[in-house]
Structure 1
């Protein structure tokens, strides 16, 4: 009876959250944490926890497509994971091979135009995993409706370090001018194919840290972060929707902050900067509380009055054609 009631409550809560949401992030990144702890909790081996987590991953992929997310990145195997016992690593590598082949052949993947890509130091992985990665990428490489990034042998700082070394080598060989180094220069050297800026990071299992995950694309974009307590295999659609709600609140706060900063600038900047500040306020004015929108209307009234007086006083002659004093 209690289980039935819980399912009913979860269903109603999911429906409520779905109605509250107004949009979706473009790119979600997930740290799939808690698989081994879930297995221990249930008296199972670690690889059973990873298999249960893989089932959650499939559901999350479906939920992302339902609400209009365009890119999903999964933190699947970090460079630190190589320190785990051999039996755990081998079981996880076997699971990766199985799932990569299964995803690459799944009708739902092809029907929804899912492009599967691996990011990380793939050459560090066993040959059978590299072969599975190649197979998945070849089978889905022509699609662009949805991108699924699998982070394997991945370390965020190591990727940035390697990109910086690549830039340094090109500058040293005179293939690149130091003055030409910009954001795009680094991004082109991080991954073989472009990765969108991350809008939302989700981490289950109670840990409140992002573990060096996509630092360039997440931290640089000031991504929203959603932490929750269920282990990854227990992660539910309600948890997923709560994460989306966190993103929406973060986005709303960002818009409001931008509008307030631009509003504050209107009375204290040069004429050139004033135009830019005014355009920002116009874009985000709806995110401001009513009182602050009224303040903006007052500023615009004063500004329009000044413009009218300037128009009536051209080249020192007022509207009555009398020379101004």
Structure 2
């Protein structure tokens, strides 16, 4: 695909890839089958971000709330996350996996990617994968640090102490699946994000979806509260 030229490119794009289960049902499958069909769209989006010069991409894998779903679905999205990272290992990215690693719901195969970024290939883009993530867990890391006196001792900003502290501010949030809610996605980093919603379900991803989001982003008055 030839590169579309935009005057303004978001540095960091956050993605909520919603609609896998609905897509599966609409296509005559059981709900858990939809997660496998959500992997390929993620890699096409990854390619488009590199083509556009976007420096950082964060995707929802699954949340701690998602683990309340039936076991067959939980195992399916856990496996899809592990498979996605296995595929990314053959690409060019700096990967960071963020989520509650102390929970048994966290896939142990992903533990090596949770402490610091791991470079795959040429490391052309930062990729953050939220796995077994929740906003409560994220903010609780800072609360624990404050209770332990770390802020007073070091003079560090509270945003340096949250669980997702290695992830930068999100410029553009894109949600597939038609829902108009943040669903707990990085509440600190998304405070000033511009939010674009697509009605299309995630497995029905097309290049034009993301290009439309970038076109829309061109028209936004970005002041960061100033």
User: What's the TM-score once normalised by structure 1's chain length?
Assistant: 0.62
Answering whether residue 103 of structure 2 is matched by residue 118 of structure 1, we say no
Work out the CA distance in 1 between the residues paired with 2:101 and 2:120: 17
Q: Which has the higher contact order (CA 8 A, sep 6+)?
A: 2
RMSD of equivalent CA atoms: 2.8
Work out the CA distance in 2 between the residues paired with 1:159 and 1:240: 28
The alpha carbon displacement at 1:79 in A equals: 0.9
Answering whether residue 152 of structure 2 is matched by residue 177 of structure 1, we say yes
Partner deviation per Cα, 1:113-144 (whole Å, 9 max, x = no partner): x11110111222457x2223426978627965
- Indicate if the aligned counterparts of 1:101 and 1:135 stay in contact, CA closer than 8 A: no
The alpha carbon displacement at 1:214 in A equals: 0.9
In structure 1, the partner of 2:10 is 25
The structure where helix makes up a greater share of residues is 1
In structure 2, the partner of 1:210 is 182
> 2:127 aligned to 116, 123, 148, which one?
148
- Indicate if the aligned counterparts of 1:115 and 1:148 stay in contact, CA closer than 8 A: yes
- Indicate if the aligned counterparts of 1:29 and 1:201 stay in contact, CA closer than 8 A: yes
SS in structure 2 at match of 1:177: helix
Could you say which structure has the larger radius of gyration?
Answer: 1
In structure 1, the partner of 2:138 is 159
In structure 2, the partner of 1:234 is 204
- Indicate if the aligned counterparts of 1:125 and 1:153 stay in contact, CA closer than 8 A: no
> 2:38 aligned to 53, 68, 79, which one?
53
Aligned length: 225
In structure 1, the partner of 2:56 is 71
In structure 2, the partner of 1:168 is 147
Q: 1:74 to 1:135 in 2, by over 3 A?
A: closer
The alpha carbon displacement at 1:24 in A equals: 1.2
Work out the CA distance in 2 between the residues paired with 1:202 and 1:226: 5
- Indicate if the aligned counterparts of 1:203 and 1:228 stay in contact, CA closer than 8 A: yes
The alpha carbon displacement at 1:96 in A equals: 2.1
User: What's the TM-score once normalised by structure 2's chain length?
Assistant: 0.87
- Indicate if the aligned counterparts of 2:140 and 2:162 stay in contact, CA closer than 8 A: no
- Indicate if the aligned counterparts of 1:224 and 1:246 stay in contact, CA closer than 8 A: no
Alignment of 1:70-109 (within 5 A): 70-104=55-89, 106=90, 109=91
> 2:109 aligned to 131, 151, 157, which one?
131
The alpha carbon displacement at 1:145 in A equals: 3.6
The alpha carbon displacement at 1:95 in A equals: 2.2
The structure where strand makes up a greater share of residues is 2
Please identify runs of 4+ aligned residues in structure 1 that moved more than 4 A: 135-139, 141-144
